[in-house]
Structure 1
Amino acid sequence: MKKIAAAAILVSLLSGCSNSDIYSGDVYTTDQAKQVQQVSYGTIVSVRPVKIQANATNGKNENIVGSLGGAVIGGVLGNTIGNGTGRALAIATGAIGGAVIGSAIEDKASQTNAVELEIKRENGGNIVIVQKGSPNEFYAGQHVRLVSNGKQISASPRYGSAYNK
């Protein structure tokens, strides 16, 4: 039983290691620090709550830690059931079921709340930005500052007496 508890703790610790702050408009990567970035301004047209899936690439979720951890825990639990062939089936079923459940848990744990901002730029045209945040941080009609390095862009509230609520 101690092995099961230890494995469960290990899986939960590893799946909680993903850093979702990189999706915030308040966090810069080391590549962005001390680099020239372009600033423009705009007004928010609409705000929509969305989620960012941190461990997805090319539309595929890569829940390796959750799947492996779940398979191990499921296999260990299956090993406690039955004898002979029944035990082998229980181990296989437990491993497969654990992998599916572990993947689903990691999938949910690696999502972060975000907002999709449609912004009308002062220099013309509308853009959409998805970044970490909550809908109550931004609102339609709010003036924002846009910072871009040519590949990435983030929005933050534009402050000053003319732009406060």
Structure 2
Amino acid sequence: MIMLKPWITCLAIVCLFIGVISPIEAGYKRNQAVAVEQVQYGSVVSVRNITQKQLVEDRNQGWKTFGGALIGGVVGHQFGGGSGQDVATVLGALIGAGVGNRYGDNSYYQELSLVELMIKQEDGKQVMIIQDLDPGMIFNAGDEVRVVYLQGSVRVDIAM
């Protein structure tokens, strides 16, 4: 049983790493090659700049809770003896996890700048597209644009 404790600890740490290592990236970046499904040309009917707030959550929250539990367990282990020491260790770990979880939250709101474009395509359809505001590509009513349809997303660029 004594030989299993280090292996269980290592397994728990590896499981925690698996959940933290893979950041999720979503969306389309201009410098990324993506398969295009369709390209339509058209003209901008209206432009509106909008903002949206997005909650950004701390990805290290689990580590802070784990660290609080670890420190609390070590401190709790210093008190008592026998089964009293075991109880103090468990209570210290629980209290430490609670403190780490409560005071380790670094979530914040991020404001995104977006542009809403109403476009009349050459095929007669009118589409409204909301995308990230690119300071290098400012749209105005009457601009000729290209609407690039990708798998699961759409992007508008100035027609060249």
Report the TM range for the smaller structure's normalisation: 0.5 to 0.7
Q: TM-score, normalised by structure 2?
A: 0.53
Q: Within 5 Å, which residues of 2 pair with 1:1-165?
A: 14=20, 18=23, 20=25, 22-26=26-30, 28=32, 32-33=34-35, 35-43=36-44, 45-50=47-52, 66-82=60-76, 83=79, 84=85, 85-100=87-102, 104-105=105-106, 114-123=112-121, 125-131=126-132, 134=133, 136-137=135-136, 139=138, 141=140, 143=143, 144-149=145-150, 151-156=152-157, 158=158, 160=160
Deviations 1:98-149 (A, max 9, x none): 34556x44x55xx877443211202354513244xx5634546274432113
Query: Mind listing any 5+ residue stretches in structure 2 that lack a counterpart?
Result: 1-12, 80-84
- Measured after TM superposition, the shift of residue 26 of structure 1 is 1.2
2: CA distance, partners of 1:125 / 1:67: 44
Q: Secondary structure at the match of 2:117?
A: strand
Residue identity matched to 2:117: I
The answer to whether the 8 Å contact 1:67/1:100 transfers is no
2: CA distance, partners of 1:24 / 1:51: 19
Residue identity matched to 2:64: G
Query: Mind listing any 5+ residue stretches in structure 1 that lack a counterpart?
Result: 1-6, 55-60, 161-165
Q: TM-score, normalised by structure 1?
A: 0.52
Identical columns (%): 14
The answer to whether the 8 Å contact 2:39/2:146 transfers is no
Q: Secondary structure at the match of 1:153?
A: strand
The answer to whether the 8 Å contact 1:50/1:115 transfers is yes
Which structure shows the bigger proportion of residues in strand conformation? 2
Q: Whose Rg is larger?
A: 2
2: CA distance, partners of 1:114 / 1:26: 17
The answer to whether the 8 Å contact 1:75/1:92 transfers is yes
The answer to whether the 8 Å contact 2:37/2:150 transfers is yes
Residue identity matched to 2:91: L
1: CA distance, partners of 2:74 / 2:63: 17
The answer to whether the 8 Å contact 1:47/1:138 transfers is no
